[in-house]
Amino acid sequence: MNEFYFPSGVQSFPLDIPKIAVDDVDLWRSIYTEKKGPIEKTAINHNGFSGAWVGLDIYHGPNYSTSKDIYTANYYDCSKIFPNMFKTIFENIPMDINCIRVATSIKPFIPHTDFSIPVVSLRTILHEQNEVPTFFYVNNKGEKIYQTLPHSTNTWIYNDSTMLHGSDKLPNKSKVLFMYYGVPNFKKIRELADKSVVRYKQYIVPVI
């Protein structure tokens, strides 16, 4: 059974997994600079807006299907180029991954949900120029609550259905975000959640 699981009362928390980092930063920068392009929405969904990203798909799994993906991005398979990073990802991201999409936002993202059904979302910040957190949730008073991360992990998980999320875009600052798509492994998510919410208690964003 792979029944949906997310800790109750929790919106978002850092995952207690090793840091995800490219094997060779210079090589990564040259690939990302050369290969990335606009990420475009090809269908309208419940949230009715288009993303404002550039980016690159760096992995498509055997079950990836363009017909199920409402965004299109350039694709350049990096799984053989950065074997250590992909080993860390495959061993630790609690998901049977169909697609890893790397994205850099070029405009702010207004508060939204990405899905119309309960879904958990996994994100890794690969590179961050912002000195303040920019990824936020909106509480029941309409205030932004930012997800901050400890030094020991750059990955977090959130429940898409409980609070709206969005992202600020600060002038002349950018970030490089990994977004994972696939089939979440809720047994692993439960195990990771149990230890992550203890270790990273002060970083938990509650549902309020």
- Which residues are near Fe ion by CB under 5 A? 114
Pick between residue 114 and residue 168 the one whose CB is nearest to Fe ion: 114
Pick between residue 25 and residue 170 the one whose CB is nearest to Fe ion: 170
CB of residue 171 vs Fe ion: minimum separation in angstroms? Answer: 22
Nearest to 121 by CA among 93, 158, 71: 158
CB of residue 62 vs Fe ion: minimum separation in angstroms? Answer: 26
The identity of residue 58, as a single letter, is I
56 touches 32 (CB < 8 A): yes
Pick between residue 114 and residue 128 the one whose CB is nearest to Fe ion: 114
Pick between residue 22 and residue 97 the one whose CB is nearest to Fe ion: 97
Start-to-end Cα distance in the chain: 30
CB of residue 175 vs Fe ion: minimum separation in angstroms? Answer: 14
Sheet (strand 144-146) strand order: 109-112, 165-167, 135-138, 144-146
CB of residue 161 vs Fe ion: minimum separation in angstroms? Answer: 12
